[in-house]
Amino acid sequence: MGRIRVLKRQEPLGWRSCLVLFGAAGVSLVLSGILLGLQDRPPLTAMGVLFQGAFGSAWAIEDCLIKAVPIYLCSLGVAVAFRLQVWNIGAEGQFALGAVGATAAALYFPDLPWFLLLPYMALAAFIAGGSWGLIPALLKIRMRANEIIVTLMMNYIAILFLDYLVYGAWKDPASFGFPMTPTFTESAIVGRIGDTHLNWGLALCAVCGLLVWIFFRYTLLGYELKASGENVRAARYARLPYERLVILVMVLSGALAGWAGFIEASATLNRLQPSIMVGYGYTAIVVAWLARLNPLFIGLASFLLAGLRVGVENLQLELQVPAAFGQIMEGLILLTVLAGGFFTEYRLRLRPRP
């Protein structure tokens, strides 16, 4: 023992850190393959079915893009907060609240023309999601309450609140007792792009991503935010407005997740129902970390993890693999990437036997 020395790398790995990412993905594929094999399911066939289902047809890729939209918006928000080392785990709840806000606008003003109603729904989702981010921010800076736990508890509360509405006041009388709101009117539905199944939420992603990128790259506030995230104490010493930054990132974070909820309710489901909650808010955390909080890479990672979801649906259909398999893979990928980060920071050297 003790033959291996750990040395800190002097210069960053650069492009070779991609290799770490591939290595980590490989390890998690092997591990999840073993899990399938243990249950007498052929691992290689299963992986084939997974990839075929996710990326094997134009229809599948379209489906990946549709699912990537809410993941991207949530993840972008999460990444903004993570930049400041504020751990917003609440994208799931902020997504729920955004969907509730947009639905409220759609249900109470069904007769507005689309060019008024859609912006109004977006505003409502922004306020609802944003306020669900504001509360933990205020509790963090005023009362020093840990934002991880507060945002997580608020996820449970938001989902129960959504349930309360669709099982109660907002339930469609014509739904035969199913918990769902009436279908939105035509003007409350975000339309499709041309002849595809894709909706204009995709364009919203591009705009938001670009704005966030510009914000961090070219504005003073964005620079302050990055600096504060790297060293909170130094930032306070330099009199950067840390507290205001916390509020800013949490509201922005919540609002972006809220917009994901708005797009999902309006464009994908055309109504609000409990099945809107499929864990995009948690996937978003995995995505943000894999993409190292970079808006462009978040796009790529959102697409890939949306692909994992679509592929697992196929796996479920063809080999009766439970849907939770996707969750296992998400967890494994994140864990292996975290462990792999070690090799970007340190290198190992074998010490010759004395």
Partner 1 sequence: MTREILISLLAATVQSGTPILYATLGEIFTERSGILNLGVEGIMLVGALAGFLGAKFTGSPVSGFLLGGVFGMGLAGIHGLVCIGFNGNQVVSGLALTILGTGLANYLGTPFIGQSAPGFSPWPVPVLSRIPILGEIFFQHDFLIYISYLVPPLMWLFFRYTRWGLGLRAAGEHPAAAAAAGLNIYRFRWAGVLTGGFLAGLGGAYLSLAYTHLWTSGLTAGRGWIAVALVIFAFWHPLRAFLGAYLFGGVMAFQFRLQALGADLPSSLLLMLPYGLTILVLVLSSWRARGDQAPAFLGINVEPSE
Q: Is 286 in the site for partner 1 (CB under 8 A)?
A: yes
Alpha-carbon span 319 to 322, nearest angstrom? 9
Alpha-carbon span 8 to 84, nearest angstrom? 25
Residue 254: closest CA among 284, 216, 294: 284
Stretch that binds partner 1, among 2-10, 42-50, 180-188, 217-225 (CB under 8 A): 2-10
Q: How many residues bind partner 1 (CB under 8 A)?
A: 50
Q: Single out the residue of 22, 59, 178, 346 in contact with partner 1 (rule: CB under 8 A).
A: 346
CB nearer partner 1, residue 60 or residue 154:
154
The DSSP secondary-structure symbol of 352 reads P
Q: Single out the residue of 47, 139, 198, 300 in contact with partner 1 (rule: CB under 8 A).
A: 139
CB nearer partner 1, residue 29 or residue 334:
334
CB nearer partner 1, residue 140 or residue 271:
140
Q: Is 338 in the site for partner 1 (CB under 8 A)?
A: yes
Q: What's the token pair of residue 196? A: 């595809």
CB nearer partner 1, residue 227 or residue 328:
328
CB nearer partner 1, residue 118 or residue 147:
147
- We find the least distance from the C-beta atom of residue 154 to partner 1, in angstroms, to be 7
Q: Is 350 in the site for partner 1 (CB under 8 A)?
A: no
Q: x/- string (CB under 8 A) for partner 1, residues 26-65?
A: ---------x------------------------------
- Residues numbered 149 to 178 that lie near partner 1 (CB under 8 A) are 149-150, 152-154, 156-157, 160-161, 163-164, 167-168
Q: Is 198 in the site for partner 1 (CB under 8 A)?
A: no
Q: Single out the residue of 148, 202, 247, 300 in contact with partner 1 (rule: CB under 8 A).
A: 148
Alpha-carbon span 177 to 168, nearest angstrom? 10
In the chain, which residue ranges form alpha helices assigned H by DSSP? 17-38, 43-55, 58-83, 91-108, 114-143, 147-167, 201-218, 220-230, 232-237, 242-263, 280-290, 295-319, 324-345
Q: Single out the residue of 87, 132, 184, 242 in contact with partner 1 (rule: CB under 8 A).
A: 87
How does 15-45 read in b/e, with b if 16+ C-beta sit within 10 Å?
eeeeebbeebbebbbeebbebbeeeebebee
Q: Is 330 in the site for partner 1 (CB under 8 A)?
A: yes
Q: What's the token pair of residue 7? A: 């040395």
Q: What's the token pair of residue 329? A: 């893979």
Residues 6+ apart with CB under 8 A from 152: 89, 90
Alpha-carbon span 42 to 146, nearest angstrom? 44
Which positions lie near partner 1, rule CB under 8 A? 5-8, 35, 87, 89, 139, 143-146, 148-150, 152-154, 156-157, 160-161, 163-164, 167-168, 282, 285-286, 289, 322-332, 334-335, 338-342, 345-346
